[in-house]
Amino acid sequence: MHFFRAVHGLYPITLQVLAKRTLQYRGWVQGYARNHKIPILKAEKGVSKEDAVRPYLQRMERRNRHGVYCIFTSMEMGSTFTSKMPKFPTEDPHYRIIRRVPSRSLHYYFYIRDPEIGPLAMCVGTYLPFQTTYSLNGHNFIEIQLRRQGVAFRKDDNAFLSTSDPKALQAAADQLSAATLEKRLTYWSWLFCPKFSEKDRQAVPLDRQYSINQIEYCRNFVFKRHFPIHKIFAHSCEMGLFCLAADKVAYIFGVRIAKRLRGKLYSVLEKLDHGHHVLRIYGKNPVGRRYEKFNTFLRVEVCVNRRKDLGLNKGLENLECLRQKLVAIPDRFAGFQAQSLHVHVDFSLLQRMALPAMAGKTKIAGIKIHDTRMMRLMEVLLHGGTQLNGWRSTDIHQAILTTFGLSASSYTLTQLRYHLRKRKAHGLLEPIGRAYCYRLTDKSVKAALLFILFHKRVCGPLANSLFHHRTDDTASLPARSKRRITRPIMPFNRFSIC
C-alpha cells in the first residue's frame, strides 16, 4: 500500500492498479521472446514439460550456448494480492481491503542452460508479489565440474554409473554450495524477473531471499549385471514391510516420536505402473524411497519438504548443515536394507529354540517352527509397534484376534500368556519396567524374520494359507493399474528453491 499510494500516488488501490504491473511484465516477456526467437509454448495436460523442452535443450547443447531456450505458460495456483470493498460503509469512500490470497494465475516457466549449474527451470508468477521458484538437479553441476577437470565418467539420466576418479566425483559434489547457487540464481532473477525503477528502489528497500522448498538426496547401488536387481529389491521390500517398526523409522530419519505426532509414520509399497514398485517410509514429513531404475541400479533416496522436522530453518544458507543430515539418512536406510537381506536359514538357531529352556527351576517348552499360534504371535509382534513403547498382553491378544479374525474362545488370553512366557524364557521378549509391557529383542526380530521366511520359501502356499490368510474384501473390486499396500507403523540430488 505504501508502494502504490506514497511512491506512485495511486489511490484507491483497485484491481486495475494491481494488474497494471502484470500487463507490463507480460508484454516484456513476449517482446523478449520475439526478439531472441525463443518459443513460448502452452503447457498441456498429461504432457511432461521436461519431455517437451528436451529437443530445444539438445539444440542449445550442440551449439554450446547458454541462456533461455524455451518458455512455458501455465495456469497454476499461487499467492497474489486482491482488492475488495469493505463490507460496511466507511468515512473514506476509496478505502479498499488489500489481502494476500491464493488464486489461479498465469506463470512463466523459463528453461535455462546455465554455465555453472547446468539446465534449470525458473517459474515466475505474473501477479504481485511475483514469487519465483527454481528447480535444478545437482547431478548436472557435478557433470560440468568433471568435464572441466577431464575426468571420464558414464552417466544415465541423473545417476553416475562409473568414473575413472571416484575422489574427484565426491569433490565435485561437495563444491555445490549455497554461495554458488545464490550467485547464479540472483543473476537470472535480475535478468527475467519484473524490473523496478531507481525511484522504486530508493523509496522501498528491495532484496531477494532464497529458501529451500524441497530437497532430495539419494544413494545408488550400481550392478554390473541386471538379473539380481529385481529379486534383491523384492526380497528387501518384503522384509522391510515386516520389520519397519516405529523405532526403526525414527532411527533412520533421526527424529523423536512423541504422543502428538505431526505428519506421517508408516511404510507403503506402491505399484506405480506395471512391474515398477516403490517402497516408501514416512517419518513425520520427510519421506524415504527405495526402487530399482533402468534395470541398472537400486536407488535409496530421501525427500524433505519441511526442514523444521530436522531442526533447521528453510534458508539457503543452511544447505551445508542440511546436506550433512540428509547424507546420513540414506546410509541408515541402506544399512537397514542390508540387515534385512542378511537373514538366512540358521538351523542352529532353530534347533536351540526347539529345545526346552530353564526359567529358574521351571522347565519351559521349546518353540516349534510348525506351531501355528506361535507364528501368528511372531507376525503380529513384528508388524506392530511393540518396539516403541511396548504392548500389554491384552493389547497383543486383541491384535491377534483382529488380524486373523479369531474368536476369544478359540484363542484365549491364558494361552497367549503361556506363549509370551515361552518367548521370554528363550530371550525373544523382554518386559518394560513393571508395567507388564513387552517389546521384541534383536534376537527375536531375527527369529521372527527367519520363521516367516522359512514358511514362505520352504513350506509354500500351505504356510501362507495358515499364517498369512486374511479375508479378501477387495475380491469383487475391479483391478486397477495403481495399487497401494499400506501398513501403519504406529499401533494406535533434486532442489526446489524459491
- Does 292 fall in a domain? yes
Residue 465: the pLDDT is 36
**Do 119 and 170 fall into the same domain?**
yes
Confidence of residue 151 (pLDDT cuts 50, 70, 90): very high
pLDDT in tens, 432-463: 766 667 777 777 777 776 666 666 555 544 33
- Does 431 fall in a domain? yes
Looking at per-residue pLDDT, the higher value among 187 and 239 belongs to 187
Confidence of residue 346 (pLDDT cuts 50, 70, 90): low
- Does 284 fall in a domain? yes
pLDDT in tens, 247-301: 788 888 887 777 677 777 777 877 655 557 888 888 888 899 888 887 788 899 9
**Do 18 and 70 fall into the same domain?**
yes
**Do 221 and 335 fall into the same domain?**
yes
**Do 225 and 321 fall into the same domain?**
yes
Neighbours of 267 (CB within 10 A): 24
Strands 40-42 and 362-364: unpaired
Residue 384: the pLDDT is 59
- Does 495 fall in a domain? no
**Do 83 and 177 fall into the same domain?**
yes
**Residue 86: CB partners within 8 Å, gap ≥ 6?**
95, 96, 97
Q: Which helix (H) or strand (E) holds 192?
A: helix 178-192
Local structure of residue 244 (DSSP, 8 states): -
d(CA 12, CA 4): 9
Averaged pLDDT score across all residues of the chain: 80
Domain of residue 420, CATH code: 1.10.10.10
Residue 303: the pLDDT is 92
- Does 414 fall in a domain? yes
- Does 434 fall in a domain? yes
Provide the greatest CA pair distance for the chain: 95
pLDDT in tens, 22-77: 999 999 999 999 999 999 998 787 788 888 899 999 999 999 999 999 999 999 88
pLDDT in tens, 401-430: 888 888 888 889 998 888 888 888 888 887
- Does 478 fall in a domain? no
Domain extent at residue 450: 347-467
- Does 236 fall in a domain? yes
> Average pLDDT in the 352-356 region?
79
CB of 120 closer than 8 Å to CB of 136: yes
Residue 90: the pLDDT is 86
Confidence of residue 148 (pLDDT cuts 50, 70, 90): very high
Residue 309: pLDDT over 70: yes
pLDDT in tens, 457-487: 555 443 343 334 443 443 333 333 333 434 3
Give the count of domains, the chain: 3
**Do 338 and 365 fall into the same domain?**
no
